[in-house]
Amino acid sequence: MKFPASDIIPKPFRRKGVWVVATIFMRGLLNFLGLAMLLPVLVLILDPESIASNRILAHLYQLGGFESTGWFVACICAAVVIFIVAKSLLSLWLYRSERDYIYSMYRYLSRRLYIDYHNRGLAFIKSRNSAVLSRNVNVVSLTFVAGVLRPMAVIFSEATLFMLLFVALALYNVVAAVLIVVIFLPAVWLYVRLVRNRLNRYGEAENRAQRAKTRSVIDTYRGYSDIEICNAFPRMLARFDKAMEEVVSVRSRNASLSMLPQMFTETGLAIGLSLMVLANLGIEGNQIKILFGVFAVAALRLMPSIRNIMGSWASLRYNRYTIPIIRDEHVDDIDTTVDSSAERFEFSREIRLDRLSFRFDDSDRDVIHDFSLTIAKGERLGIRGRSGAGKTTLFNLMLGFYKPTGGAIYVDGEPLTDDNRRKWQNTIGYVSQNVFIADGTFVENIALGSRPEEIDRQRLDRAIDMANLREFIDSLPLGVDTPAGECGNRLSGGQRQRIGIARALYKEADVLFFDEATSSLDNSTEQNINAAIEELSARNKELTIIVIAHRESSLDYCDRIITLDSHE
């Protein structure tokens, strides 16, 4: 059987995989030895007089110096029990290596995908479906190791046991070995023929349905207000129900298929035992009884092995849709470097945009074209322009989220590159139209990214006061340690913006970027936020402020205002 996933085992796991394969083989061998140890007990049960006639039993009897058959039988049984217990413990220890290998690979894949999607940048994230990215990180990587690699290990282990048992049985009695093959191989072949193509379709169908269901849930909660006002929830629910129905239908059909291995193996065993009874009908003798017993023990032990092989093969086929997903990500080539440096730019003179151009990968037109601008340290610059003129794109370029397709950005004469992007972003603060609120306390949101033990409470208090948040924070039951709630859904627009400002102030940013930060606020709140920004600038003449706004009134405090026109 060809295992299509073997070529995408990550490089760090390939050498260790040899040891894991060895442990799987040893577990199969131990299972065979455990079965072989039962044969002396079987012989003693079916033919108690065989101690004298059986060469091995007779030798053991003499070697042990036994004088009583009862004591000999008791010792044989005790030895078998001790061996089975020891075998089970050793097998469990060997299985731990396999388990650790599988789930270490899950951690490796999931973490690398998570880092990779982050490192690809804002343009990549915006161009992809977040539900798909999340599912790849959290579900697909786990399904690959648990639903593809682990079944491969089970198949190898059980196939090893089957081959060893078949060889031993053939050496003991060829007819019994041939009968085993005649019983079980047709059952496996018939099962594969019946379910192979169906399992492929079911796995791919469930993956599509799960993605659609996840997308419906995310969209419903993210856009709750609009969905509710437009009475769109019935439509969202219909989409959810359709996807759920597909998931339930596929799972139900797959559950029915999972019962087939047991049916086939039990039917085959019944046929095999019946054939042996008919073939030996009228024949007497202990040898026939022993042969029948050996065959029955072997067949009964092989039944769960064959079922495991069939079930694991079915799991592999069902989850094989994960293989091309993992393969396409080229996980071994992913750069997992995470720049956690706290180093900052020594910003002292100016930010210069030199003939800057940018276009998206799927576009044939520049959003920003041959644009030049110099912003002096301490300047308050306003940027305006109609929708689609590229204001936010320009911000994303200056923030280091996008890479220019032409020209460059210079900070004090040093070009902004991937190598110093983290250094630049440590120097700036950013307040967007919809400030991100993490699911944590207000202190964690203002000091975003800081470890709890590293938070400077005095600097935090200063940031709260300067952002005019003191009255709001003091009204909370736990003050700044009060949970903000999921996405800050109980905060007003003005409160969110002030938290964004406090976040930038706690960071002690040298440059503040405001991207339509007041466009969604009422006039009174907008005036208060603008007054707070102007007051910040008056307190710190070295603070550089760059603002995007539609309304002229939001730019009144700026030293200079430029108008950005779209490039046709």
Count of alpha carbons within 13 angstroms of residue 168, beta-carbon side = 17
**Integer Cα distance of 385 and 393 in angstroms:** 12
Is the CB of residue 559 less than 8 Å from the CB of residue 379?
yes
Residue of 23, 61, 24 lying closest to 40 (CA atoms): 61
Is the CB of residue 402 less than 8 Å from the CB of residue 123?
yes
Structure tokens at 301: 């032990």
The per-residue pLDDT for 92 is 83
**Integer Cα distance of 166 and 187 in angstroms:** 16
Q: Which CATH superfamily hosts domain 6-333? A: ABC transporter type 1, transmembrane domain (1.20.1560.10)
Beta bridge partners of 441: 483
Residue in this structure with the two tokens 């995007």, named with its chain if needed: 548
Sorted by sequence, the CB contacts under 8 Å of residue 49 that are 6+ apart come out as none
Is the CB of residue 493 less than 8 Å from the CB of residue 428?
no
Residue of 140, 103, 131, 134 lying closest to 118 (CA atoms): 134
Sorted by sequence, the CB contacts under 8 Å of residue 8 that are 6+ apart come out as 323, 326, 327, 331
The amino acid at 319: N
Helix/strand/coil for 441:
strand
The per-residue pLDDT for 229 is 52
Residue in this structure with the two tokens 């590159």, named with its chain if needed: 417
**Integer Cα distance of 62 and 56 in angstroms:** 10
Kindly report the number of other CB atoms within 10 A of residue 268's CB atom.
23
- For β-strands 350-358 and 406-411, DSSP reports them as antiparallel
* pTM of the predicted model as reported, rounded to 2 decimal places: 0.70
Phi and psi of 308, rounded to 5°? Answer: -65, -40
Q: Considering Cα of 249, then 252, then 256, then 257, what sign does the dihedral take?
A: positive
Residue of 239, 91, 238 lying closest to 160 (CA atoms): 91
Residue of 83, 78, 84, 73 lying closest to 45 (CA atoms): 73
The per-residue pLDDT for 568 is 45
**Integer Cα distance of 76 and 84 in angstroms:** 12
Phi and psi of 520, rounded to 5°? Answer: -95, 10
DSSP state of 426: T
Give me the sheet containing 511-515, strands edge to edge. Answer: 428-431, 511-515, 544-548, 380-384, 560-563
pLDDT in tens, the chain (568 residues): 444 555 678 888 888 888 888 888 888 778 777 766 666 665 555 555 555 555 666 666 667 676 666 666 677 777 777 877 887 888 888 888 888 888 888 888 988 888 888 888 888 888 887 778 888 888 888 888 888 888 888 888 878 877 777 777 777 667 667 777 777 777 677 766 666 667 667 777 877 787 787 777 777 766 655 566 556 677 778 887 888 788 788 777 766 666 666 566 666 656 665 665 555 544 455 555 555 566 666 666 677 777 777 778 778 877 888 888 888 888 888 877 777 778 888 888 899 999 999 988 877 888 888 999 999 998 989 888 887 778 888 988 998 889 999 999 999 999 999 888 888 988 888 888 778 887 788 888 888 888 888 888 888 888 888 888 888 888 888 888 888 865 566 777 778 888 888 888 888 888 988 887 555 555 666 677 777 777 777 777 788 989 887 777 778 778 898 888 755 4
Instruction: Say how many residues make up the chain.
Output: 568
The domain spans of the chain are: 6-333, 350-563
CA-based Rg of the chain, rounded to a whole angstrom? 35
The per-residue pLDDT for 264 is 62
Fold designation for 350-563: Rossmann fold (3.40.50)
Sorted by sequence, the CB contacts under 8 Å of residue 523 that are 6+ apart come out as none
Structure tokens at 502: 């406090």
The per-residue pLDDT for 1 is 43
Count of alpha carbons within 13 angstroms of residue 121, beta-carbon side = 12
**Integer Cα distance of 234 and 499 in angstroms:** 35
